[in-house]
Structure 1
Amino acid sequence: MNHSNTVERSIYQTGLRILLGAFLVFAGAGHLTWHRTEFLAQVPTWLPLNADLVVLLSGVVEITLGLSLIFLKSKQAQVGWIVALFFVLIFPGNISQYVNGISAFGLDTDRARLIRLFFQPLLVYWAIWSCGSWTDYQSKRKS
């Protein structure tokens, strides 16, 4: 890969990292305000915590992660892994919404809820790729 392709990819990755950060800040703000009820629908009933507390805390975490994606440039590889882990940790909420047939965010059919499940791995990949987390891991492993 020549230098111009590396620079273009870096700009592309940076743009998508910032976009993911903005998405998380927006979603986190929704947890705390206008989409709170919708997010309550995703808290698994088996979770031994107050559902509203889970929504509020996950909103704060999303805002923090989003801002970290945008502003913590020197720690991007680590932030990418943390964001990916967050997406894995919240996946049971998406599964619960599907299994229990709970409508939220316009997902009012089993098909729509099922299709949504396939987007979570893409979010994990997006976080790792846009932050260069895997590349950083590989280069440290080689040295």
Structure 2
Amino acid sequence: MSVELTYVIWSAFLGLIYLGVQAMLFRLDFGFRYANTQRDIDPPPPNKWNKRGQRALANFLETYGVFLALALATELSGRSDNLTVWGAHIWFWARVAFLPAYFIDINQLRSSIWTLSLIGLLLMFIGVAF
């Protein structure tokens, strides 16, 4: 299995971690009783941690489709090279670091990690497209 496909598998697990963190924070904020309902009534505004969990998951999902498309295009085209491999490494590990960084209040840390993950996607794109 290629490095890129290996990261596709592990990124699915990472996505489950993001989802689990978001779901746990939602339940801690609104309670298990409300979380297990149809949610026909509007809850009060979410607390800071719940909002961060929601935004972190949304941010992961925004780049996840691009990563999947690039990884699969790399595999199907047989164009895996150092750029695509490094890009997959960088994207994945930046996304691992991004989740805790979203909850740590260090100025510019989260944005820097996000930029690093974007660089990983750009490397993959260049590797597979050119």
TM-score range, shorter chain: 0.3 to 0.5
* TM-score normalised by L of structure 2: 0.42
* TM-score normalised by L of structure 1: 0.39
